[in-house]
Amino acid sequence: MTDTLNLLPTERDHPLDPPPAVLALHTDEGPVSPLDFPNGRRGWLVTGFDEVRAGLIDPRLSAVGRFELNPVRKLDLSEEELENLRRPSLLTTDPPEHTRLRRMLTGLFTVRRMRALTPRIEQIVADHLDAMAATDGPVDLVSALAMPVPSLVICELLGVPYADRALFQGLTSTLLRLDSTGEQVTAAGEGLREYMSGLVRAKRTTPDDGLLSELLDAEDTLTDLEAAGTGLLLLIAGHETTANMIGLGTFTLLSQPERWAELREHPELVEQAVEELLRYLTIVHFGLPRTAVEPLTIGGRDIAAGEPVLLHLSAANRDPAQFDGPEFLDFHRESVRHIAFGYGVHQCLGQQLARNEMAVVFRRLIERFPGLRLAVPAEEVPMRTDMAIYGVHRLPVLVR
């Protein structure tokens, strides 16, 4: 066995694969390895699929305090600033507080309701494809399609003015950028909270038919602070993660032309392709930090109370013990039991909406532009290695 990892490996040999030093742990170290965190604490890195999934449902691993456990950088923040980042949300609470917040949202994100949005998603996608078709020369697929489609969908669903997108997208980008200073992170977080708190106050006075107003009208009333935190999480997750899956997914298909051709010839595979792309890419690429609140054992390793644990989703989704040939993008896998959306009580609430948006985008993109291709060599596409959510910053493509 190797010594404790000084820091989480983040260097990739290939833009579509997790860091080789992390993948090597599957054979060299086993599913759980010692890891030093940037804040100086020694803990554990979990990379095995079964072990990560077990960790995600174990109540002895707490999501509270996750900002102090950033796995790739130490944020130079005061206790007051950290406390502001810890404000109540689904990401940073445990049961029973988390249970109360999630229960209020579960009925609003049913599969039936998300599927009912399909006609509107189809129209939004068609409008943006029309705009792409009218453009001469290369088109940036990120700004033309990948970002605006989920942003508009989540804004309409929540009742957030789409005209405000430059504000919340810009602040979200600062929050997720790895080179942002502690001061910048604090300012961006405060700006987002102030924006959403203003919306909450306005909707308490003048409700509309958006999901945020429904949430405020729920029987188990949220405080303004809880409502703002919940609304902010839904807004950020609703546009940032799906946008990057669309951008990175398209880049993957175009950089592996045989997969693009396969979907063009067999469009019935699109929904299966979405699941495989989610597994293969796993844009939450640094994992989910937790803290042991009681002693436990994972993968044969004894973890003491108080020790930090990093559940590495992208490594788990490439675990050869779980997937046959995990390094290959295969649209014919019999079962894709990925954990790209997490697992257990913290599993992504909006996963059905994301699946729906991705399936519509990829299906219509292939139909409308069967000859779509990269406008630059694949190695010149700027990757989001500098962001907490992986993807492509820009994706220049030719539609004809």
Domain boundaries of the chain, sorted by first residue: 20-398
What percentage of the chain reaches a pLDDT higher than 70? 96
**233-264 confidence digits (pLDDT tens):** 999 999 999 999 999 999 999 999 999 999 99
Q: Is a pLDDT exceeding 70 seen at residue 269?
A: yes
Work out the end-to-end distance of the chain between its first and last CA atoms, rounded to an integer number of angstroms: 53
**319-352 confidence digits (pLDDT tens):** 999 999 999 999 999 878 899 999 999 999 999 9
Arithmetic mean of pLDDT, 155-172: 95
Residue 3 banded pLDDT, cuts 50, 70, 90: low
Per-residue burial over 22-53, b if 16 or more Cβ lie within 10 Å, else e, is: bbebbeebebbbbbbbeeeeebbbbbbbebbb
**108-154 confidence digits (pLDDT tens):** 888 888 889 999 999 999 999 999 999 988 999 999 999 999 999 99
Q: Which amino acid is at 128?
A: H
Q: What CATH superfamily is the domain 20-398? A: Cytochrome P450 (1.10.630.10)
Give the strand pairing for 308-311 and 42-46: parallel
Res 74: pLDDT? 79
| Reported pTM | 0.94
Q: From residue 176, how far is each of 75, 111, 384, 386 by CA, in Å?
A: 12, 29, 10, 9
* Cα 186 to Cα 196: distance, rounded to the nearest angstrom: 15
